[in-house]
Structure 1
């Protein structure tokens, strides 16, 4: 038995169908932002509501709907949940060994100003991790670092989600852009060029915006040189690399240039006043006389303390190299002896079973059967790269296996509810995709006609909110963007790029991202507070991308490659 997706299932009307399709999304916002449910309860009830509507309104057989949810739940565990567990474990190991206290003092030696620490860790270092690993690792690790430096955990999570806007489109060695070439037929390099002519406007603005949120508009001018150096160096490198090298390296290069440029600036320039959060200022003022001098560390001690994160960078970069990635997943076809050996192990640790009742049983809008597999790439998963980093860290930090085991047990205990949240919301995303609910919403937005160039990024924003991934949003709506843009006289390269650029602004409110960020800083159950923090910023930045796209279509068409 097969199921053909019907995008006008409710009353044979697209608008009515879209109203029903948006109900689970509105419910999720209500559950978190208004009702303030715990994340796992909001996720589970949203999944149950989506299952009910997919069967009763969109007529997908109940078995198919349940199996699509199971496919999403499994994906929520591997690779996403696996990344979160190993990322938090790595951070906890550095804390347990005492290495993190050295890292903390090293960053404080560069600057004690909280605004500049956010630029260094959340913006630059987070972007580097996004470029190398993607998924949840950048937010998890950078948020944990900021919380360890003394940031309010909720603030640390929110700032890192916001900072992560700039690099998402080129994340994980450019996968969001390279992936969309397949379904659209438009070269990834052309899409990379166009995204590189949109996102730098956001990238140069994000450091400025971060400081406004943290300290207010008046305190921006005190660190304006740092903001300009951080933002302009990142944006300029992002433009040059995306337009002349391709989609693989913009994040890594932009992050490194921005990080080093800011560190060099801080060697010669310091803000006149050191900004700390209100409670910290009061504490510092009352304890100033009693305060002991900060310990000084040798370059060797500093390098040793940072080495777990250097090892992490090496592993996730290695895992991202295409030829090695192929070997780790059992798809290597070369003759190199070492890679052939890894390929054999990767093949044995890669499991791709079909999803029962679902594989090739759903017919999509193009009349094609949709493959459905449980993609279990154990060795090739980014979380496994982080696990290897944890093992190496065990020896670097001279921890016993007993310490590692106790820390791992503690980590799993703390993350049980966040992992449940992530699995349920990914299950929800898969149900909406399988039933056709997400495509119904996309087709409704595509009916905006002459205003479509303005609303085109909203499709990407919606896709990332639902799936938690710019890659998935591009695969979901990329071809719809192409077809619709041609019908309204819009350049398809601009429309597909707008899908990716709009998607980055939805990352900070995606249920997956919210759950990951809360898990990283020990705020499981506080997802509603984090969503309330990020929602307005997401909508504001989305409107900027919408305006940029509209102007590039109507006034600045010379910017389209």
Structure 2
């Protein structure tokens, strides 16, 4: 039996937290400074985490190794499985030739690549995040942007940035429900406050996307449509989050943003679309010359005038199927119950009953095999249905799937190693030690609390997992410091939102989607400053809420 401790190293919370940071520092240094490939960085960080668990946190060797295997298994299933099936579905559309029609369909709305980045990465990505989550939006929209003419690096950066504001309510608001469950709070109140904390972020993400694509000149030229899209998304998110259907926040927000875009673009188009297209084409050519665009689509996009209603329908049918299948599986009660009944849960061998939390409660080590309920199973079903609709042969469909697996082999290893790292740090108490140390700063915790959510998502790649780790700690620390408990619990979700773009797991997903496997360090160096900047902004907003300066944005509640 092993019991986690908050200060196992020299009896000092500070020293214990610093030692617990060693695996994370290893990841940052090997990936961001030494520029190792992500799977090498991940495996090295796992080794450091195991040593810290055994030597520093006194975890038995067998439990440390079992935790490593448990995490690696979770990285393979469901995480890697979801991404593999998402890429498989996308590749079906490419090999059938229908994806070129989809590119032309977006040109019907606007041939401006800046606007298409918003529509695909932000609006459509938000809709996918609402229903699937777990990296599927990054995989699908990253491949879509690259095929539209973005260089692989810029496509990956764009979707990582866009996959921020929707994360809090991803996968039918699972992060919100998790936060409410571990803190015994009303999920609608958690939802409402989380939406208020990400409100400004949602407004400005479309403008930040344009800034990333075309600089400040692009922002000036596109703000008449980019800003209203963000405003529509933010307000729809804010009001839906306070309702009984808060689980559908991203659905209504994404559709509101898309509808706003359609209305405005019927009467107005940004200037200099051709200039942007030429600049991105030149960047794409440089990427090809440097070997960073091997997987770029070579086919010409059909002229929009050539499209018939039937071709448009066939181009969008895969994504209609995604929305229909995921929506039905999550929102139709009897169907959801039938699907959930197929899930098999079991305690991980060698860990069950062997680990206690610092308060003496059992540490959960349940593993789920939800082959149908899992987004990966539903994406696989979607891909097969799309192949049937597109009349692809069984041989070509199977070949597409096996090629996807082969091309993703290193990304799969990265995901397994990153989740192994997370599970070892969590089971040994390393993550809790870091959180306990940050929570001990008193009133300053109002501004530092979101850092815990950011850190949790960096380690696990999931806002849900981050909330499971830290929300109870957020509530306790807020009570001790005399801060608003609800604000700090919701703030863990908001902090995690801006940490998703630098998680090694999501970097691996993005690089795989755009054909840049092994270039995760390149993406990390380019996106980390965006993440830190947005984290500072989030910390200020939540700090002002927790200390009473933004009381008007918080509903009345008993958690004070």
Q: TM-score, normalising length from structure 2? A: 0.93
Aligned CA distance change for structure 1 residues 499 and 282 (closer, same or farther; 3 Å): closer
- The answer to whether the aligner puts 1:329 opposite 2:356 as a matched pair is no
Cα distance in 1 between the residues matched to 2:422 and 2:131: 25
- Alignment RMSD, CA only? 1.7
Q: Distance in 2 between matches of 1:122 and 1:6?
A: 42
Contact 1:131–1:173 (8 Å) recurs in 2: yes
Residue 278 (structure 1) aligns with = 279
Question: Equivalent residue for 1:389?
Answer: 382
Question: Which SS does the other structure have where 1:270 is aligned?
Answer: coil
In structure 2, the partner of 1:463 is 456
Alpha-carbon separation, structure 2, partners of 1:202 and 1:279:
26
Residue 150 of structure 2 contacts residue 284 of structure 2 at CA under 8 Å; is this kept in 1?
A: no
CA deviations on 1:147-199 (whole Å, 9 max, x unpaired) are 11111111111110110101000001111011222221111011011112111
Specify every segment of 5 or more residues in structure 1 that has no aligned partner in the other structure, as ranges: 285-289, 331-345
**Aligned equivalents of 1:293, 1:506: Cα separation in 2:** 39
Structure 1 residues 108-133: Cα deviation after superposition (integer angstroms, max 9, x where no partner): 23222121011000010000000011
Pair 1:100-2:99 in alignment: yes
Q: Give the distance between the partners of 2:421 and 2:302, measured in 1 at CA.
A: 52
Q: 1:375 aligns with which of 368, 371, 390?
A: 368
The 1-side partners of 2:15 and 2:337 are apart by 45
Alignment correspondent of 2:420: 427
Q: 1:283 to 1:182 in 2, by over 3 A?
A: closer
**Native 8 Å contact 1:192 1:246 kept in 2:** no
Alpha carbons 1:203, 1:235 under 8 Å: kept: yes
1:3 and 2:8 are equivalent in the alignment: no
2:246 alignment partner, SS class: coil
Paired position in structure 2 for 1:520 = 513
Cα distance change of structure 1 residues 159 and 291 upon mapping to structure 2, 3 Å threshold: closer
Alignment match of 1:406 (pick from 399, 415, 425): 399
Task: Kindly indicate whether the alpha-carbon contact (under 8 Å) linking 2:104 and 2:302 is maintained by their aligned counterparts in 1.
Answer: no
CA shift for structure 1 position 279? 5.0
Does residue 1:299 correspond to 2:309, yes or no?
Answer: yes
CA distance in 1, matches of 2:329, 2:53: 37
Distance change >3 Å, CA 471–CA 364, structure 1 → 2: same
Counterpart mapping for 1:452-531 below 5 A? 452-531=445-524
Report if the CA contact (8 A) 1:461-1:504 is conserved. yes
Provide the aligned length of Structure 1 versus Structure 2. 537
Rounded Cα–Cα distance in structure 2 between residues aligned with 1:78 and 1:294: 40
Corresponding residue for residue 527 of structure 2: 534
**Pick aligned residue for 2:432 from 430, 436, 439:** 439
Q: Distance in 2 between matches of 1:296 and 1:45?
A: 53
The alignment partner of 1:7 has SS state of coil
Gaps of 5+ in 2: 286-299, 556-560
Query: Which string of whole-angstrom CA distances, capped at 9 and with x for unpartnered residues, describes residues 65-100 of structure 1?
Result: 111111111111111111111100111000100100
* Distance in 2, Cα, partners of 1:15 & 1:282: 47
Residue in 2 that maps onto 1:269: 268
Between 493-502 and 111-120, the greater mean CA deviation after superposition: 111-120
Q: TM-score, normalised by structure 1?
A: 0.93
- 1:356 deviation in Å? 2.0
Query: Offset at 1:272?
Result: 2.0
Match 2:325 to one of 309, 315, 318: 315
Q: Summarize the Cα distance change of 1:420–1:277 in structure 2 as closer, same or farther, 3 Å threshold.
A: farther
Q: Answer whether contact 2:70 2:423 (CA < 8 A) is retained.
A: yes
Between stretches 466-475 and 102-111, larger displacement belongs to: 102-111
* Counterpart for residue 449 of structure 1: 442
